[in-house]
Amino acid sequence: MALPRAALALAMLAPLLAGCFGGLFGEARTEWAFEATQLDLMPGLGHTGKGVTIAVLDTGANRGHPALAHLFDGDRANGEVIGFQDFVNGRNGFANAYDDVGHGSHVLGILGASGSSLGDKLVYAGVDLQGGAPEALYLVAKVCPAPTEQNPKGSCDTSAVTEAVKWAASQKAQVISLSLGSDAAPFPNSLLDDQGNALQDAINAAIDAGIVVVASAGNAGPDNTDVLVPSSIPGVLSVGAINKDLQVWDGSSRGDDAGNACQTIPILGTRGRCDPDKKPELVAPGVEILSSWTGETYAKATGTSQACPFVASTVALLLEGRPVLKDRAGVERVKEVLVQTAKHVAGQATPHDRAAGYGIVQAAAALEAYRPA
């Protein structure tokens, strides 16, 4: 069965000029989201992502946005985009970084934004974005094009995502953030075409090398059959979305626990999804999240695309100041800690819920519990 071209995990995207948000002391960032994940506590604990390399494979990066300016100032000490590769139009290189869609810049803002200019705060109602890992190093790959008449959803080509994963691994990424997905039948139970197998192989090779891969669960809930590819790959951290009430967003894709039941078969070994790899593993804020957009504007967006960078930020903060992970066992240790310290969503099934996963990611609790293998 052919793997459909991957589509951005977007839903209910509602760009708004930040100037429409209210008075001078308007919303600085989506504060409840950082409180719910404990990311608001991490700077006080001395963790800002410094020195950790995160790859963001998306629609690119808006180097002209004031909330992202520090990532393009040539100073690695305060966070920096250290590589830009364009797998769509071939406009490679740091100086050519761009985003003709806005989605990638929105994700990057949740991860790495660090304030805005005084003039921007005045014009945009006091917006002052602060991302989860503002001092991390970023590799940005453009893998998804702008929508066209022939491709109205701006769907990403699977081969571009595959090559970007390989590129990120070659550039020593420690975390790969994938706010995209395909509704193909989940790995590893489907017969995939060569592109699908190549993507799976590239991601598994990255995990084997000690890279933590985080991906959106998808926006097909609540009646979907499973999370999207590539978040369905066992070693990947699949992330669903919650709202301000800390309940699973209705559109967040559900996992298929029943169809992928963990079982041990003589000689063949373990099959299906076993802890901590049941899908999704975690949920994070993904409803009306404020972040950077095209030009110098801001937008609120909803979807598991927005939830993914909250978890990617948390992983980067765990790895900060630690030895670089060397293999899949190290990645699994990170997953185990995130799962064990997650906060249960009210009413969720335990230990795993097909909507809420193991719970809401908790950055400070995970930091306290994490001991590298």
Q: Can you give the pLDDT of all 373 residues of the chain as single tens digits?
A: 223 334 455 433 333 333 333 333 456 789 999 999 999 999 999 999 999 999 999 999 999 998 999 999 999 999 999 999 999 999 998 889 999 999 999 999 999 999 765 655 555 555 678 999 999 999 999 999 888 888 887 888 889 999 999 999 999 999 999 999 887 543 333 444 566 688 999 999 999 999 999 999 999 989 988 999 999 999 999 999 999 999 999 999 999 988 888 888 877 677 888 889 999 999 999 999 999 999 888 889 999 999 999 999 999 999 999 999 999 999 999 999 999 999 999 999 999 999 999 999 999 999 999 998 7
pLDDT at 172: 97
Is 232 catalytic? The answer is no
The reported pLDDT for the residue numbered 257 is: 84
pTM of structure: 0.90
- Catalytic residue, from 58, 99, 183, 256: name it: 58
At residue 184, the pLDDT reads 54
* Spatial CB neighbours of 190, under 8 Å, sequence gap ≥ 6: 1, 184, 196
**Is the CB of residue 319 less than 8 Å from the CB of residue 348?**
no
Look at the chain and count its residues.
Answer: 373
Q: What is the dihedral of CA 353, 361, 232, 175, to 10 degrees?
A: -170
Write down the pLDDT at residue 283.
98
Confidence (pLDDT) at 143: 94
Q: Is 49 exposed, middle or buried (0-12, 13-18, 19+ CB in 10 A)?
A: buried
Would you kindly state where each structural domain of the chain is located, as residue ranges? 7-369
Is 193 one of the annotated active-site residues of the chain? no
pLDDT at 120: 59
Element (H, E) at 367: helix 363-369
**Cα–Cα distance measured from residue 9 to residue 155, given in angstroms and rounded to the nearest whole number:** 10
Statement: 7-369 belongs to CATH 3.40.920.10: no
What is the structure's pLDDT at 15? 31
Angle of CA points 132, 135, 140, to nearest 5°: 85
Catalytic option among 256, 305, 352, 353: 305
Of these residues, 103, 106, 114, 120, which one is catalytic? Answer: 103
Residue 275 is among the residues annotated as catalytic for this protein:
no
